[in-house]
Amino acid sequence: MAKRLFEYRNGDEMQLSLLVKSADTRIAKNGKKFISFILQDKSGHLPAKMWDASDAAIEQFKSGVVVRITGKRELYHDNPQIKLYSIRLATQEEGDNPKNFLEQAPEKSTQMEEEIGSFVFDILNPNWNRIVRKLLADHHDAFFSYPAAKANHHANGGGLAFHTLSILRLAKQIGEQYPNINVSLLYAGAILHDMGKTIELSGPVSTEYTVTGNLIGHIVLIDEEIIRACIELNIDSTKEDVVMLRHTVLAHHGLLEYGSPVRPQLPEAQILHDLDELDASINMMTNAVARADEGDFSEHLFGMDNRRFYKPASIQHYSGRDSQK
């Protein structure tokens, strides 16, 4: 079986097929064009550069195509990258179907859909329940197949649903620990908080921001969807419970400078923000550490203040599930 991208270690010569996740044309200091790639397969993604790129190469090697590369894995400023020797379009025999190279969430969409549905059942406020059910139905296919982001956290197929489900699982624990928290509001806010990304992003293959996503953003987009759902369901959007739901979603980035039009002013809104940050951070750290060599540091994580995280070589790790066996 052919080696995958992250089965190569630093210093290894490489030859494999990869999906062009992104391809940005830039100008080098010498005035010549180069292509800054992100190349991926199911194991992960790495950057690479094609220097002195011709107009024909720029036209040919666009995001969404599968390429065959030779090169070498190396470090640049402590971050892994591919030093390209050659690049061309992959043949059918080498694998040229982009869907076969997509990183995927660790759980199947059918399983995630079933579990998220069980949380919907526990949203006891009738208006919140109806709004959530309608918007889940309206955005069903995209919600269970899209990534949660173009880069950084949960940037893989099904990542949006997996991120949502992870927050719901954390929210359930919060509700059991703190019985005064309105878990119905927390569940409804968690399910809806990133659903606007089904409009903000282009999809799981070579994810880009749409024009609407760039100009409006997912927070405002999902608020508009909540209002639309209220109109179609004949729910008064000015009622206190609907305003509470809208606020919980609108405030989930926490700070105005991070994109929230308001700061959290309900306990459930603050908790949703905290759980959103926690799940995204854990996802970034665990993925980076998993890709690092034992006894070494991960790559720098832009989404975490450009820090690196250490992968111990001498300590045996056990999950809670393993320790109970």
Q: Which two structure tokens, joined as six digits, stand for 305?
A: 């203040």
DSSP label at 299? -
pLDDT of 1 reads 65
Based on the domain organization, do 268 and 214 belong to the same domain? yes
Query: How far is CA 102 from each of CA 18, 192, 240, rounded to the nearest angstrom?
Result: 10, 25, 42
**The CATH number of the domain where 22 resides is what?**
2.40.50.140
Q: How many CB atoms lie within 10 A of CB 300?
A: 15
Distance CA 35, CA 25 (A): 5
- Return the pLDDT at 287: 87
| Residues 154 and 222 both lie in one domain | yes
- Report CA torsion sign: 132, 137, 138, 140: positive
Indicate whether 54 and 194 sit together in one domain: no
Is residue 295 domain-resident?
A: no
| Tokens encoding 218 | 């997912």
Pair (70, 216) in one structural domain: no
Residues 28 and 87 in one domain: yes
Beta bridge partners of 18: 67
> Within this chain, do residues 52 and 193 fall inside the same structural domain, yes or no?
no
Instruction: Mark which of 101, 131, 147 sits at the end of a domain.
Output: 101
Q: Enter the pTM of the model.
A: 0.87
For residue 82, give the nearest of 45, 30, 55 by alpha carbon: 45
pLDDT reported for residue 257:
82
* Whether residue 70 is found in the same domain as residue 210: no
What mean pLDDT is reported for the chain? 92
pLDDT class of 228 with cuts at 50, 70, 90: very high
The model's pLDDT over 132-181, given as tens digits with 9 standing for 90+, comes to 999 999 999 999 999 999 887 898 899 999 999 999 999 999 999 999 99
Residue 325 lies in a domain: no
Residue 291 lies in a domain: no
Q: Are residues 129 and 250 in the same domain?
A: yes
Q: How far apart are CA 259 and CA 246, in angstroms?
A: 15
- Residue 261 has which token pair? 């039009």
Inside any domain, residue 170: yes
Q: 101, 118, 138: which is the final residue of a domain? A: 101
As a whole number of Å, the end-to-end CA separation of the chain is 33
Location of structure tokens 């402590």: 78
On whether the CB atoms of residues 260 and 250 are closer than 8 A, the answer is yes
* Same domain as 186, residue 279: yes
In angstroms, the CA 69 to CA 39 distance is 10
Check whether 239 has a pLDDT greater than 60. yes
- Give the count of alpha carbons within 13 A of 167, CB side only: 31
How many residues make up the chain in this entry?
325
Contact between residue 163 and residue 154 where contact means Cβ atoms under 8 Å apart:
yes
Q: How many domains does the chain have?
A: 2
Residues 227 and 117 placed together within one structural domain of the fold: yes
Inside any domain, residue 169: yes
Give me the sign of the Cα torsion angle 44, 162, 316, 312: positive
- Residue 207 is part of a domain; what is its CATH number? 1.10.3210
Mean pLDDT across 296-301: 88
In a domain, 189, yes or no: yes
Residues 6+ apart with CB under 8 A from 26: 33, 34, 35, 36
Q: For residue 128, how far is the Cα from the chain centroid?
A: 25
User: What domain range includes position 38?
Assistant: 5-101
Which of 79, 101, 123 is the last residue in one of the domains?
101
pLDDT, greater one: 143 or 75:
143
- The pLDDT-based confidence of 325 (bands split at 50, 70, 90) is very low
322: pLDDT strictly greater than 50:
no
Asked if residue 32 is part of any domain, the answer here is yes
Same domain, 211 and 245: yes
Same domain, 37 and 135: no
Within a domain: 302: no
Cα gap 73→16, rounded to integer Å? 12
Tabulate helix, strand, coil % of the chain (nearest 5). 45, 20, 35
Q: Please state the φ and ψ torsions of residue 107, each to the nearest 5 degrees.
A: -125, 150
